[in-house]
Structure 1
Amino acid sequence: MRRVRENSRAHRVRTAAAAVVGVLALVTSAAACKVEKVGAAEPTAAATEPGARPADDAKTGSGQGTPGPATPSRTPGARPSPEPRTLMSVGDRSERVRELQARLRQIGHFGRTPTGYYGTVTVAAVRSFQGKRGLSRTGTTDTVTWERLLAMTREPTAKELDPPAARPAPAKPDARCLKGRVLCVSKNSRTLSWMIDGRVVSSMDVRFGSQYTPTRDGEFSVYWKSRHHVSTLYDSPMPYAMFFSGGQAVHYSSDFAARGYDGASHGCVNVRDEGKIASLFAQVRNGDKVVIYW
């Protein structure tokens, strides 16, 4: 009886031990599964394909993948630069042209006295300036040329715009100029003085004919006025013409305004200040005296 009980007890002990071993086996298996899930993620399909790249790289072109085409940058609100606009060109006459010439003279591109007339000399000076600055050599002053010139020069003074040396002093009047209404012209001082009874009303600088086409000396009178005259002999404009001896006249000359004393007339008395001769033309009458002397 005692042996039976002992055998029964031993059986229960073995059964309990087996149960404990089974429980331990289950716990160990569960822990192993948990560690496997945490430490080793299953690879994705994209990663297992040959040549595949991470999803983020495919979207942005960054990282180790081949970068995609760059998108041009654009400044918000930016506008294209406007085309150059012409400000001054050949044939213009203004105080702004005079300023252009004075500024060009400051930096050695215009070697003459400013006249305010945009002639061939000014065209050449502007081309010279444009060529030195890598601009198109048009000879026309556009916005680009003007802005570049303003940046390189200072505002001209009154003397630079109209130098005293550019205004010849009138000579002592000839005795024949002291009575009546007279266009008193001195070849020595290269001036014309409009005089009434010995008083100088206005004065302006003039030029004369060359040695081959000289301006005649002497005392004459105005016999014909022609506001928009054109020479039939030379086919050249002679605005504000006041004829005093054959085909010779006192008149405005755009060539004189552009070239100064580098040129000459065909015998006429040229005036380069259009404003002054326009005023003179309005005052002079047919029959007024003209005296030309040395």
Structure 2
Amino acid sequence: MGDIRRRGVVALGVTGLVAPLTLALTTAPAQAATNCTTQAGPYQKQAEKFLGRPVDGKQSAADCRAIKAFQDTHGITPDTGYAGPVTWGVMDLVSKQRAAGNNPNKDGRCPVNKGRIACVNLTLQLSWIQDGKKVVYGPVPVRTGRKGYVTRTGLKKVYWRDLHHVSTLYNVPMPYSQFFDGGQAFHSVGLSMWNPPGSHGCVNMTTKDAQTYWSLLRTGDDVFVYGRKPGT
């Protein structure tokens, strides 16, 4: 992916999810002048419960405002307050990420015999850095490859770091790039980590997290990617 001279690949595109992409985004019904739908979506009750609203499965003005605010925060469009599959997919993922708590490797999937290693759980869209069994940073939410551009799994190594990288394929900045697999890299983006549908293969991070990864990782450090991103 990208020019072999720079091995750049961007994860910006219409990129990150987190919602089941196999489910088409349902077009919201007719909307009020406030750009807020008056009709309940197929995941109305689930959305109400997630947002701490009264769970009755009926769309109220307050329900719509709460769902719309969630959509705006997470880069979900259209942001009409309609509880469709994409919106619920993001809510469900956020819930699972929260449940992972401070012990993201409790299933032991990421190797603990490699010393310092960056782990990426595609299923939960989480990443962290551990040293042996000790988590030294994270877990943090990430945004990985969408369908057709999946982030490849397996044990890899950081092979090249470029603080001010610019993708030669998409001509967009990729700050704090740390490449680990044929053009796929950790790097920061100015988007929500839950903004669907996903990157073009890179592991997107917030600027803060990408800066910390830059300070903690070195060329030659291991990276382990496993699981499967919802919808890919």
Tell me the TM-score normalised to structure 2 length. 0.54
Shift in Å, 1:201: 0.8
Q: Does 1:110 align with 2:44?
A: no
The code of the aligned residue for 2:224 comes to: V
| Contact residue 177 and residue 184 of structure 1 kept, 8 A | no
Identify which of 195, 198, 214 aligns with 2:130.
195
Counterpart Cα distance in 2 of 1:198 and 1:105? 43
CA contact (8 A) 2:157 2:223 kept: yes
Superposition deviation, residue 107 in structure 1: 4.0
Is the Cα–Cα contact under 8 Å of residues 174 and 184 in structure 1 kept in the other structure?
no
Q: Confirm or deny: 8 A CA contact 1:242 1:281 kept in the other structure.
A: yes
Work out which of the two has the higher radius of gyration on C-alpha atoms and give 1 or 2: 1
Native 8 Å contact 2:153 2:226 kept in 1: yes
2:229 aligned with 1:270, yes or no?
Answer: no
Alignment match, 2:155? 219
Shift of 1:213: 1.0
* In structure 1, distance between residues paired with 2:72 and 2:97: 7
In structure 2, do the counterparts of structure 1 residues 219 and 202 end up closer, same or farther at CA, with 3 Å as the change threshold?
Answer: same
CA distance in 2: counterparts of 1:113 and 1:165, whole angstroms? 20
Pick from 283, 286, 289 the counterpart of residue 216 of structure 2.
283
Structure 2 residue identity aligned to 1:237: P
Distance in 2 separating the partners of 1:263 and 1:236: 18
Segments ≥4 residues shifted beyond 3 Å: 104-109, 112-115, 163-168
Tell me how far apart the structure 2 counterparts of residues 214 and 264 of structure 1 sit (CA, whole Å): 9
**Aligned residue identity for 1:217:** T
Structure 2 counterpart SS, 1:112: helix
Amino acid at match of 2:70: G
Greater RCO structure (CA 8 Å; 6+ sep): 2
Which AA in structure 1 matches 2:218? R
2:7 corresponds to which residue? Answer: none
- Number of the residue aligned with 2:28: none
Question: 2 CA distance for matches of 1:106 and 1:211?
Answer: 29
Query: Contact conserved, 2:110 with 2:224, CA < 8 A, in 1?
Result: no
Structure 1 vs Structure 2 CA RMSD = 3.0
1:50-89 to 2 correspondences below 5 Å:
none
Q: Which structure is higher in helix share?
A: 1
User: Cα deviations across residues 141-185 of structure 1 (Å, max 9, x unaligned)?
Assistant: xxxxxxxxxxxxxxxxxxxxxx87664622434252443110011
Q: Please report how far the alpha carbon of residue 223 of structure 1 lies from its aligned counterpart in structure 2 after TM superposition.
A: 0.9
Which residue pairs with 2:115 in the alignment? 180
- Secondary structure, aligned partner of 1:225: strand
Deviation at 1:253, TM superposition (A): 1.8
Distance in 2 between the 1:199 and 1:261 partners? 30
Contact 1:213-1:267 within 8 A present in 2 as well = yes
Give the percent of matched residue pairs that are identical in Structure 1 and Structure 2. Answer: 33
- Distance in 2, Cα, partners of 1:219 & 1:228: 25
Where 2:214 maps in the other structure, the secondary structure is helix
- Consecutive unaligned residues of structure 1, counting only runs of 5 or more, are 1-103, 129-162
